[in-house]
Structure 1
Amino acid sequence: MTTTSSPGTFYGRGFAEFYDRYGTGWTRDFAPLLAQWLSGRPGAEERLVLDLACGTGVSAQILLRAGWDVIGLDISAGMLANAAHRLAQDVETGRVVLQQAEMTTFVLDRQVRACVALEGALNHLLSEEALEQCFARVAAVLPVGGTFVFDLYEPHHFRGWHNIGVTDEPDAVIVKRGVWDEERGIGMLRFSGLFDDGSGPIRVDQTVTSRAYGADVLNALLSKAGLDPEPYPAEVPACACGRSRSGSCRTVYAATKAA
């Protein structure tokens, strides 16, 4: 879930393991609902989906179980290694292909019926130019009528970064320190500590940088790329961070490739 726009978010093995345990709860709840909704879309008999910034393969695994074949793309070798382990059988049978590439420059050798990008992956793109490049690449691999779905964290979520927190468990001690710039809509969150993945302690030392975007900006950039925005009508679970009880934490966007 990374881009050259944010060098500090190239996730290594330690953070990939930590993220897989603590950072994928919302995706585990949302992806089955998303898979069901995608399966009811026109043209869904062509069941190939691009999982953009696929991370450790949690969403890909759920899409596979729902009958979709998956191309999983991420810039992080650590994330992809975790995904390859999780999806080993499906990689062997050819139902999933994992590819290391950036969200703004990736190229596929085939079209896909749908593209998804979950867990605020696109928040890691720190400029409108980078978002525009990403949307153009997505449009290039979708056929007319193909579907793009992604979620983005809202400022209310990022305000929780302006804090210091600790994950203290028998096999993990991680300190989280962050800052959120309300005026610029950009925040940084640093994770540092030790995490035991079962093979022994792993050092976690990772800085994540994200930016919030308004709906007007997103919809304009989608339209410019030839993707028609539309409301996402299906159920959206509450954000796993817990801040959604006091405000909107994330928004799910949908778009269709225009003729």
Structure 2
Amino acid sequence: MAYNEFAYFYDELNGAADYDALYLYVKSQLEKNGIQDGIVVDLGCGTGELTLMLTQAGYDMIGVDQSEEMLAVLREKADELEISERLLLLRQDILNLDLYGTIRAAISTFDTYNHIGPRENFEKAIEKAAFFMEKDGVFLFDLNTPYKHREVLADNVFDLEGPDATCRWENHYDEAEQTVDIRIGIHYLDTDERFEEHFKEYTYPLEYVEEVLKRYGFRMETVCDGETFAPLTEESQRYIITAIKEYTQMEKR
């Protein structure tokens, strides 16, 4: 899922996201586990608000996304902040992640891993992150919960408005397949151009996620509500997971 035309509309529609709270939580989790500098990769970085914040905090950031348009927006922002030389951007599918060396941490936010499926692909993406992770490294990522897929996205339609465009977000939840089929229709008001994006989100129960992490050398350390950063409730719409790399793949052999 590349979010091609959606890239230039993404920040307008995601304006309600509390990036400051997310940044403070991510940074606190990194520091809690002894990571105050070094190489951190943002998997599915999108237009890069969090990537830029962590770059400004002194981390050597790598932003990875398969959308050229998303990366172009991020590059423009980095240029405006005059931090482009401290930020490496890679256009890659995280299923085929290929970094230049090891990393101290990986982060992935706003449901990137829900877009990876079916399960064999989700597991491959975890394996790729594990391959480049140093021992005691931190893997911090979020997922939309089964509750959100079943009760919030469900078969609902959301109409969103920005200053330059409107967006219709249509969902179809498939209980049997444990997926949400999503269509995003974008209408640019000044040109009357219309575009459509179509993708799926996959539902992954927390017990399954923990099992996959363990298989690739991670210990699930902390799970909390990914919107409030408080303890989970039955109606939490997003998990945010902190996992620690207990051993490298070489040590496993």
TM-score (norm 2): 0.86
| Displacement after TM superposition at 1:155 (Å) | 2.3
Deviations 1:9-53 (A, max 9, x none): 2221x30112222136436131232113212322x2442210001
Residue 187 (structure 2) pairs with residue 194 (structure 1): yes
Amino acid at match of 2:121: A
Of all paired residues, the percent bearing the same amino acid is: 24
Q: How does 1:81-120 map to 2 (within 5 A)?
A: 81-88=72-79, 89-91=82-84, 93=85, 95-120=86-111
Bigger shift: residues 206-215 or 165-174:
165-174
Q: 1:48 to 1:129 in 2, by over 3 A?
A: same
Q: Which residue of 2 aligns with 1:79?
A: 70
Residue 160 (structure 2) pairs with residue 167 (structure 1): yes
Amino acid at match of 1:35: K
Deviations 1:119-148 (A, max 9, x none): 010000112211111111111111110000
Kindly indicate whether the alpha-carbon contact (under 8 Å) linking 2:146 and 2:205 is maintained by their aligned counterparts in 1: no
Give the paired residue count. Answer: 240
Alignment partners' CA distance in 2, 1:49 and 1:169: 32
Q: Which residue of 1 aligns with 2:236?
A: 248
SS of corresponding position for 2:135? coil
- RMSD of aligned Cα (Å): 2.4
| Displacement after TM superposition at 1:201 (Å) | 6.2
Q: How does 1:189-228 map to 2 (within 5 A)?
A: 189-195=182-188, 203-228=194-219
Kindly indicate whether the alpha-carbon contact (under 8 Å) linking 2:43 and 2:94 is maintained by their aligned counterparts in 1: yes
Kindly indicate whether the alpha-carbon contact (under 8 Å) linking 1:27 and 1:58 is maintained by their aligned counterparts in 2: no
| Displacement after TM superposition at 1:206 (Å) | 0.9
Larger RCO, structures 1/2 (Cα 8 Å, 6+ apart): 1
Residue 26 (structure 2) pairs with residue 34 (structure 1): yes
Kindly indicate whether the alpha-carbon contact (under 8 Å) linking 2:95 and 2:124 is maintained by their aligned counterparts in 1: yes
Q: Point out where structure 1 has 5 or more consecutive residues left out of the alignment.
A: 1-8
Deviations 1:189-242 (A, max 9, x none): 11113236xx96653311131011011111111111111221247x85349xxx
Q: Point out where structure 2 has 5 or more consecutive residues left out of the alignment.
A: 248-253
Amino acid at match of 1:96: L
Amino acid at match of 1:177: E
Q: Which residue of 2 aligns with 1:4?
A: none
Kindly indicate whether the alpha-carbon contact (under 8 Å) linking 2:37 and 2:58 is maintained by their aligned counterparts in 1: no
